[in-house]
Amino acid sequence: MFDVPGAYLHADLPDDKFALLKFEGQFVDIMVEVNPDFANSVRNERGRKVLYCRILKALYGMIEFALLWYTLYADVLKQQGFKLNKVDKCVANKIVNGKQLSIGWYVDDNIVGGEASAVSALIENINKRFPGLVIQRGRKLEFLGINFFFRGDGKVDIGTVPYIKQMIKDFEKEIGMELTKKYSTPHAKWLFKVNEKATKLKRDKAEIFLKYVMKIVWAMKRSRPDIEFTNTFMMTRVHEPNREDWHKFMRMMCWLKTTQDDVRTVGADDLLHMLTMTDSDHAVHNDMRGHTGQIITMGTGVLDQKASKQKMNTRSSTECEHVGTSEGLPKNIYFEMFMEEQGYKLKSNTLAKDNESEIKVLKNGRDSCTWNMKHVAIKHFWSTDRIKNGNIEVVYCPTDEMLADYNSKPLQGKAFTTFRRGIMRWDHIGTIYKGYTHPKERVENKEKLVSNDIKNNHAKIVERQKMTYAEAVKMQNRECMEEMKQHLTPASSH
């Protein structure tokens, strides 16, 4: 990892851009001290010293200037043979000695992965163009306030422990009390129940509520996916929180303090196979809207998770599930496209669901809609279209193995503990979802099936070659009739 100091100042403003920066008061004195020639340009406006300077370099704080730095940096990488990822243009790749070298950056902070010699050569070249790089090397790194530990088994631990500890310390100081209660879960089973008649919080307390809910958002999206479900509900209450919301919030903070040292682990059994699990709980909010939970994994921990209140009301659990899939599937498609740009075209992209009625809707669209689903808007059937025309396979997952339940329901007891261990990757996904098979097993099974199909087809061809034309036609007609009977049998039972 490395940081480019004063990154924006490396980018020049184009000649056709004219921008002024206004200095006032003591800042004028500082500028004159740095460059005495500015003294002749100092003006007096309403009794205050003022200095106007033309901006020649990009400065932090302006969107257009950020683009100037990005364009400059991307061009430097392209000149060194890197190719930008079309899905995420802050990621670039290059093949060095037959192996991939990847770099990702956020403004001026960079993270690099590849062979040690290739990484060293890249840093040396970047340092020539932008001198003074602040460099970190090794298994333990800090990037954008996130602590990474790259383990020897191909997995990475991701934590924000110092951030969470400081946040809890600041919170205890603001409320004037220490968090001492112990809870086994961050929420009670009645999390979604809201008493609108409860007394509203006073302004100062409501501001504390908002402040720390938003602080937790930063941590939950980076190192603590296990708190996202609870905090997502708190986010729906920040506008007018009441005393009951405060009690729920205090429970979450107490639980977070108890688990403040926990970190998540992320890895992959295989970079060519991805599993998405999506589940929705029907009419659980006060306004009778549903709640969607989703996780995306490659076997070890979760790459991405979602816990959100649905944006519309639905009439049935099947419709609720379908809307949830429609809301969550774009992330699945994004990861598939991103991985392909990185050089890993997925061999299998599996979507696991626990509602068999919705599985039929996903596979067949309106053909599997009953009378109470006919009203569903066309826009929600785009997921059916993507499944039919894409690389997504829909499979059934038993409810008690549906890991996405962690993000859609206020689980308690054993279910909470078991699913949390999977979310944080203290247990492998396969220990929870029994339908998960290791990519190697999946490929071997698929190859075996294909091999058997080829053998059967070859046997049929050999057999027909020995027949007369009339015999071959009769055999073909008989096979067609048997196939038609198989399709007609389910319909005749209704």
Neighbours of 335 (CB within 10 A): 19
Neighbours of 300 (CB within 10 A): 21
Largest Cα separation within the chain, whole Å, is: 109
Write down the mean pLDDT value for the chain.
88
276 DSSP β-pair partners: 296, 351
Residue 157: in which H helix or E strand, if any?
Answer: strand 156-159
Instruction: Return the pLDDT at 391.
Output: 82
**What single-letter DSSP state applies at residue 431?**
G
Q: How far apart are CA 385 and CA 362, in angstroms?
A: 8
* Residue owning tokens 């400059």: 72
Instruction: Return the pLDDT at 114.
Output: 93
3-state secondary structure of 187: coil
pLDDT at 441 over 90: no
3-state secondary structure of 248: helix
Query: Rounded mean pLDDT of 396-406?
Result: 96
Long-range CB contact pairs, 228-232, < 8 A, 24+: 228/305, 228/307, 228/407, 229/187, 229/293, 229/307, 229/406, 229/407, 229/408, 229/410, 230/186, 230/187, 230/191, 230/410, 232/307, 232/308, 232/309
CB 212 within 8 A of CB 167: yes
pLDDT at 465 over 70: no
pLDDT at 256 over 70: yes
Instruction: Return the pLDDT at 176.
Output: 97
User: What Å distances lie between residue 359 and 34, 35, 319, 364, 365, CA to CA?
Assistant: 69, 71, 11, 9, 10
CATH fold label, 269-436: Nucleotidyltransferase; domain 5 (3.30.420)
Neighbours of 390 (CB within 10 A): 14
Q: 363 pLDDT band (50/70/90 cuts)?
A: confident
pLDDT at 449 over 60: no
What does pTM read for this prediction?
0.83
Q: Name residues whose C-beta falls within 8 Å of residue 227's C-beta, 6 or more positions apart in sequence.
A: 186, 216, 219, 220, 252, 256
Q: What is the per-residue pLDDT across 74-126, written as a single tens digit (0 to 9) for each?
A: 999 999 999 999 999 999 999 999 999 999 999 999 999 999 999 999 999 99
Q: What is the per-residue pLDDT across 22-79, written as a single tens digit (0 to 9) for each?
A: 999 999 999 999 999 999 999 999 899 999 999 999 988 778 889 999 999 999 999 9
Instruction: Return the pLDDT at 421.
Output: 96
Q: 494 pLDDT band (50/70/90 cuts)?
A: very low
Query: Rounded mean pLDDT of 345-367?
Result: 87
Instruction: Enumerate helices (H) and strands (E) in the chain, giving the number of each.
Output: 13, 19
Q: 354 pLDDT band (50/70/90 cuts)?
A: very high
Instruction: Return the pLDDT at 167.
Output: 98
Query: Rounded mean pLDDT of 3-30?
Result: 92
- Residue spans of the domains in the chain: they are 161-258, 269-436, 440-492
User: What Å distances lie between residue 110 and 57, 175, 340, CA to CA?
Assistant: 22, 38, 22
Instruction: Return the pLDDT at 240.
Output: 94
CB 147 within 8 A of CB 161: yes
